[in-house]
Amino acid sequence: MKISDVLSPELTRCDFSGRSKKRIIEALSQLLAEHLNSGHELSERLFDNFVAREKLGSTGLGKGVAIPHCRTSGVKKIHGCLVKLTHPVDFDAIDDQPVDLIFALVVPEEKNDEHLNTLARVASIMQNDDYRQRLRNCAEDVTLFNTVLELERGNNL
């Protein structure tokens, strides 16, 4: 699936804050649950699933990027959430550098192929030095949203 299929302007934030990996994951879970018009139960389930996935190995890719992702019941399609943190946080990344760009993915339990394809598309953009800098230069939510879609189109994904 394309990033444009999973990301919406409402789930794209430029000045996202949190003081720790746990607080960021909690805030992402709440934002996603609110967007899906679900309550506290889905938020808690997303948080638990993100944390369980992180226990398998950090989703901090290095160079200031993390792509936390989880499968969960109760969602019908893949949803993405792109945030640029106000202050970088330790995310247990493979290069031990703090993270300031996060693209979270929530995937229905049965969507394995789409999950891997979407994850690969996001990673391909986030691993490019110039693309990361363009995302970091964004000062408004809508600019961040439009930039990531433009980068996806320009990357011929």
Whether residue 157 lies inside any domain: the answer is: no
Which comes out higher in pLDDT, residue 111 or 42?
A: 42
Contact 126, 67 (CB under 8 A): yes
Please compute the mean of the pLDDT values over residues 107-114 and round it to a whole number: 74
* Structure confidence at residue 156 (pLDDT): 56
Helix axes 129-136, 112-126, angle to 10 degrees: 80
* Domain extent for 101: 3-152
* Structure confidence at residue 111 (pLDDT): 63
Band (pLDDT 50/70/90 cuts) for residue 98 is very high
Please compute the mean of the pLDDT values over residues 123-127 and round it to a whole number: 92
Statement: residue 50 has pLDDT above 60: yes
Whether residue 130 lies inside any domain: the answer is: yes
Active-site annotation holder among 69, 79, 87, 115? 69
Q: What is the CATH classification number for the domain harbouring 64?
A: 3.40.930.10
State both tokens at 143: 């600019």
Q: Is 115 an active-site residue?
A: no
State both tokens at 106: 């929530």
Which comes out higher in pLDDT, residue 48 or 154?
A: 48
**Total domains present in the chain:** 1
